[in-house]
Amino acid sequence: MQQVGIYEQLITQLIESRIDRERFYVGERELNSSEASTWLSRFLSHILEYAIESVPSSDDRLQHQIALSNQLLLWLKTQIQDNDFIEDNLLASQGKILTALYELENPVSADLKNYINDIFPLTGLSQSELFCGSNAGLSLESELKREILSADKIYWLVSFIKWAGIRIFRKELEEFTASGRELKIITTSYMGATDAKAVEYLASLPNTEVKLSYNTERERLHAKSYLFLRNTGYHTGYIGSSNLSHSALTNGLEWNLKITSQEIPHIINKSLSTFETYWSSHDFEHFNGDAKSSEKLKKALSQQRGDFEVSPTHFFDISPFPHQSDILEQLAVERSAHQRFRNLVVAATGTGKTLISAFDFARFVKDKPQAKFLFVAHREEILKQARSAYRGVLRNGAFGELWVGGHTPEHYRQLFVSIQTLNNQLEQLNLTADYYDYIVIDEVHHIAASSYRAVLEYFSPTILLGLTATPERHDGGDILADFGGVIAAEIRLPEAINRRHLCPFQYFAIDDDTDLRNIAWSRGRYDIAQLTNLYTHNQARFDKILLSMQEIITDIGKMKALAFCVSKEHAQYMTQQFLLRGIKADVLTSDNSHERQQKQQAIRSGDINVLCVVDIFNEGVDIPEVDTLLFLRPTESLTIFLQQLGRGLRLADGKECCTVLDFVGNSRPEYDFANKFRALVGKSHRA
């Protein structure tokens, strides 16, 4: 007991004997009778825990521990006058913990045991717990769902509410309020962050009251508190940094402390009394969901947002991000330690595959300044974006020439070329096999095609770098054979989202009431003409699509959506249907692909809300502002599905998550749902 500093503990006889009062100033205060019960019971709890834990191990150890506890209680009975209190609290010898008590007559569930298992919080009702994103196998989202279902009253206090956050708990909140239990929520219009749709939805629930503060200049509510009250007295609460938003409740860097009335009742009581004080304050106005209150809320949110427009995020950085540095290091190890110079990099769409290759080449060219370079892709837009990236990383605005479309290079030393052009001119180039020192094949999953095979077999560079988000081919082709059977480095979709390189998404598979079992199936896909006929003569399907959008999307008038269609006719049909319903829509197919830049800008600016496309926005297109994806057709190819999904996962200012609506029918047995869902949740078995 010689450590200098501050303390707050009872002085035991042992501590008293060890304090050197001649050497130290000893700070002390008197223990008064009003606080004695709290201090002494807390002190004794540690002693009792030690004593009970010290009971020797044996087959009947639990019975001995219970007997010891009862002996202590019986001794206490001799010391106090309230004998009934001690008698009532003697422990049953079986050593069981009561977890629930429900009426058998008119039960809340036919299977009460499973019902209780489903609603009982995994962290219990008695001990505190910290949620900081690292709780193995336990998420704040899943625990709050259990808290909702097991509570009798719910009081929430948050700065703002997002529809994507409320949507997580929609089923549980509807079940809770429909049963007659009470829900109260306090929030604000601060910074315009709240979604009006979320507040209107909450106000529409039975037995629910919502109050808002519009005076955010004076009353800036930053508290986040989720209180769950139970008639049994086992109250719980969560106090921390998470607002009611999807990112804060699922994968944000948030800290939230769970508190319980059994462990720290004074904190629960103080939280409850503070909530009730706010609830009674004139600064918080009742929102009843009528037209007048909705208009006031939307006006307040608009004023808070001002005229701010989200500017495009700049993804270019002269230095690699940490995940890119990791991949570059793995490439270096592959070459130096394993002598493997044909390297495959698998990186989810949006994690900067092209920049990774540019940084890698920049490192290579330091040792070989005159290195000859070839970048191969299959589309002009990809090649232009790649050249811009390389010029930025290399700090050389003259680096590289394009050989695609109407562009013809003056020399071939640094070339960005389309696979079609290169394949057609390969024999006429008269280049040696080792002419290029460094070759990049973008979207390398295409190399099973004959055009790519000719290029691979012709050249023998020092470094061959393949880039793809999806090495698994729909046709069963194996691209690993060209890279020694090894993936040099990878960052798949779930990891990229968890590491916050990509925007999180919410995926909804929605039955569109169509039957595809009789649609012809050939070469791994449905017959396009038959699908087109089914989808363009089906008003009921469109109505189902629109109803689902209205139910799930926060605000259709503000969404920026790509709608993937099966054919040009289908895209035209969907565009016309959206326009007829007052939704700003447009179409982009190969017939008007020259308008690509114009259409992209229209989506970015919000001039249109839905762009219906056919095989246009699969690869190499960056529109970070896209926040909604509509899969209006079955996507047989996993590669194409992930590429299309990637169109909505770019990060952008103000973008909380991407909403994905996948409209599915009764499919043929050949259609593989499992592969799609496997890709969404983790690495493939090949990785």
Q: What is the pLDDT of residues 155-199, one digit of tens each?
A: 999 999 999 999 999 999 999 999 999 999 999 987 788 999 999
> Residue type at 580?
L
* Segment 563-619, tens digit of pLDDT: 999 999 999 999 999 999 999 999 998 888 788 889 999 999 999 999 999 977 655
For residue 248, the surrounding DSSP H or E stretch is: helix 246-250
User: 334, 404, 332: which is closest to 375 by C-alpha?
Assistant: 404
CA dist 352 and 642 (Å) reads 15
* 154 DSSP β-pair partners: 183, 228
Look at residue 617 in the predicted model and tell me its pLDDT.
63
Domain with CATH 3.40.50.300 in the chain: 322-496, 503-681
Instruction: For the chain, give the mean pLDDT.
Output: 88
Six-digit token pair at 538?
């089906």
Six-digit token pair at 241?
């940094």
CA dist 247 and 186 (Å) reads 20
Q: Check whether 2 has a pLDDT greater than 70.
A: no
CA dist 672 and 637 (Å) reads 9
Radius of gyration over every alpha carbon of the chain, rounded to an integer in angstroms: 32
> Residue type at 252?
G
CA dist 640 and 672 (Å) reads 13
**What share of the chain has pLDDT > 70, as a percent?**
93
Give me the residue label for tokens 């194409």.
640
Strand pairing of 521-522 and 658-666?
Answer: unpaired
Look at residue 656 in the predicted model and tell me its pLDDT.
87
CA 117, 120, 121, 124 dihedral sign is negative
Strand pairing of 153-157 and 463-468?
Answer: unpaired
b/e code 293-304 from CB counts within 10 Å (16+ = b): bbeebbebbeeb
CA dist 294 and 552 (Å) reads 19
For the residues 651-660, what does the mean pLDDT come to?
A: 90
Euclidean distance between the first and final Cα of the chain, in Å?
A: 55
Q: Check whether 678 has a pLDDT greater than 80.
A: no
**Do residues 634 and 671 touch, judged by C-beta distance below 8 A?**
yes
Query: From residue 657, how far is each of 115, 170, 565, 644, 646 by CA, in Å?
Result: 32, 17, 22, 16, 12
Query: From residue 383, how far is each of 315, 389, 488, 614 by CA, in Å?
Result: 17, 10, 23, 21
CA dist 682 and 687 (Å) reads 10
Strand pairing of 463-468 and 438-441?
Answer: parallel
Six-digit token pair at 491?
């960052």
Query: From residue 102, how far is each of 98, 99, 114, 523 by CA, in Å?
Result: 12, 10, 13, 57
* Segment 639-650, tens digit of pLDDT: 888 889 989 999
Using pLDDT thresholds of 50, 70 and 90, give the confidence band for residue 316.
Answer: very low
Six-digit token pair at 228?
């769950």
Using pLDDT thresholds of 50, 70 and 90, give the confidence band for residue 681.
Answer: low
Six-digit token pair at 149?
């279902």
Contacts of 52 (CB under 8 A, 6+ apart): 65, 68, 69
- The CATH architecture of the domain made up of 112-305 is 2-Layer Sandwich (3.30)
Task: Please tell me the CATH code under which domain 503-681 is placed.
Answer: 3.40.50.300
> Residue type at 331?
L
Whether pTM exceeds 0.75: no
Six-digit token pair at 603?
């989506």
For residue 574, the surrounding DSSP H or E stretch is: helix 568-580
For the residues 292-298, what does the mean pLDDT come to?
A: 88
Domain with CATH 3.30.870.10 in the chain: 112-305
Contacts of 406 (CB under 8 A, 6+ apart): none
* Segment 421-471, tens digit of pLDDT: 999 998 888 899 999 999 999 989 888 777 788 899 999 999 999 999 888
CA dist 264 and 127 (Å) reads 9
CA dist 562 and 649 (Å) reads 12
CA dist 547 and 564 (Å) reads 18
**What share of the chain has pLDDT > 90, as a percent?**
56
Alpha helices (runs of H) in 440-561, residue ranges in sequence order: 450-458, 493-498, 528-536, 539-552
Q: Check whether 372 has a pLDDT greater than 90.
A: yes
CA dist 437 and 428 (Å) reads 20
Q: Check whether 543 has a pLDDT greater than 50.
A: yes
Contacts of 573 (CB under 8 A, 6+ apart): 535, 536
CA 346, 348, 350, 351 dihedral sign is negative
User: 645, 629, 655: which is closest to 311 by C-alpha?
Assistant: 655
Look at residue 545 in the predicted model and tell me its pLDDT.
97
Alpha helices (runs of H) in 78-205, residue ranges in sequence order: 83-88, 112-119, 140-150, 163-166, 170-178, 196-204
Count of positions (residues) in the chain: 687
User: 173, 177, 150, 146: which is closest to 161 by C-alpha?
Assistant: 173
* Segment 82-113, tens digit of pLDDT: 778 888 888 887 788 888 988 898 898 999 99
Using pLDDT thresholds of 50, 70 and 90, give the confidence band for residue 489.
Answer: very high
Six-digit token pair at 50?
């030690």
User: 221, 203, 103: which is closest to 159 by C-alpha?
Assistant: 221
CA 304 to chain centre: 26
**Do residues 422 and 446 touch, judged by C-beta distance below 8 A?**
no
In degrees and rounded to multiples of 5, residue 507 shows phi and psi of: -105, 130
CA dist 577 and 581 (Å) reads 7
CATH for 322-496 (3.30.460.20, 3.30.750.200, 3.40.50.720, 3.40.50.300) = 3.40.50.300
User: 572, 607, 606, 608: which is closest to 589 by C-alpha?
Assistant: 572
DSSP 639-668: HHHHHHHHTT-S--TT---EEEEEEEEE--
Give me the residue label for tokens 């649609």.
519
**Do residues 629 and 659 touch, judged by C-beta distance below 8 A?**
yes
